Amino acid sequence: MNGLDEAAAVIRGGGVIAYPTEAVFGLGCLPGNEQAIERILTIKGREATRGLIIIGGSREQLAPWMAPLDTTAEATLAAHWPGPVTFVVKASEQVPLLLNGGRDTIAVRLSAMPLVAELCARCNSALVSTSANRSGNEALRSASDVDAVLGSELDTVLDAPTGGADSPSRVIELATGRLLRA
């Protein structure tokens, strides 16, 4: 288990880490690194068709992954971000198919958690974010639990507390306003 500098260096070097988010630990890598995304899917035992979330510390970090938005969509994002709401938006052409499950959309969130924002800043990028667990199992909420269950398959675990939220972010389809996860 390591700190912020080590975690950022591992990500920039193409690795896969576990890091704390608002409610649970997440698995992360650079969004354009398909080899690292494949590793995350393998670690979780998750089907590629389900897609993953991209989390950022700034709108600028998320912008390359989203298609241009109209003013209504921009206003909706501004009303909820930063915060614990993930939006499914039209994906830009550079989103790897492994990341969005082959769809034309991508799930994105602008985190209000300072640690996540700082990790993204040190990586100069948004990050992939998916719960640190095997698919179908409960998400892990501490660095020691992540290390015990998944540590041998990760390049490092960022040893810091989660943001203390009780549940993962809500997921909303931006185009329709439909709640996909409460």
pLDDT in tens, 62-111: 999 999 999 999 999 999 999 999 999 999 999 999 999 999 999 999 99
pLDDT in tens, 44-66: 999 999 999 999 999 999 999 99
Paired tokens of 159: 């040893």
The pLDDT value recorded for residue 168 is 82
Name the pairing type of β-strands 127-131 and 179-181. Answer: unpaired
CA–CA dist 131, 44 (Å, integer):
9
Question: 28 with 155: CB under 8 angstroms?
Answer: no
The pLDDT value recorded for residue 79 is 97
- As a whole number, mean pLDDT of residues 117-141 equals 97
Q: Looking at residue 45, what DSSP letter applies? A: T
Mean pLDDT of the chain: 96
Residue 19 scores a pLDDT above 90: yes
User: Cα-Cα-Cα-Cα dihedral of 176, 46, 34, 165, to 10°?
Assistant: 60
The pLDDT value recorded for residue 1 is 63
CA–CA dist 7, 29 (Å, integer):
10
Question: 164 with 20: CB under 8 angstroms?
Answer: no
Residue 150 scores a pLDDT above 70: yes
Structural domains of the chain in order of their starting residue, each with its CATH number: 1-181 (3.90.870.10)
Helix (H, G, I), strand (E, B) or coil at 99: helix
Helix (H, G, I), strand (E, B) or coil at 129: strand
CA–CA dist 27, 130 (Å, integer):
5
Helix (H, G, I), strand (E, B) or coil at 102: coil
Name the pairing type of β-strands 25-28 and 127-131. Answer: antiparallel
Q: Helices (DSSP H) in 13-113: which residue ranges?
A: 34-44, 59-62, 71-80, 97-100
CA–CA dist 110, 93 (Å, integer):
20
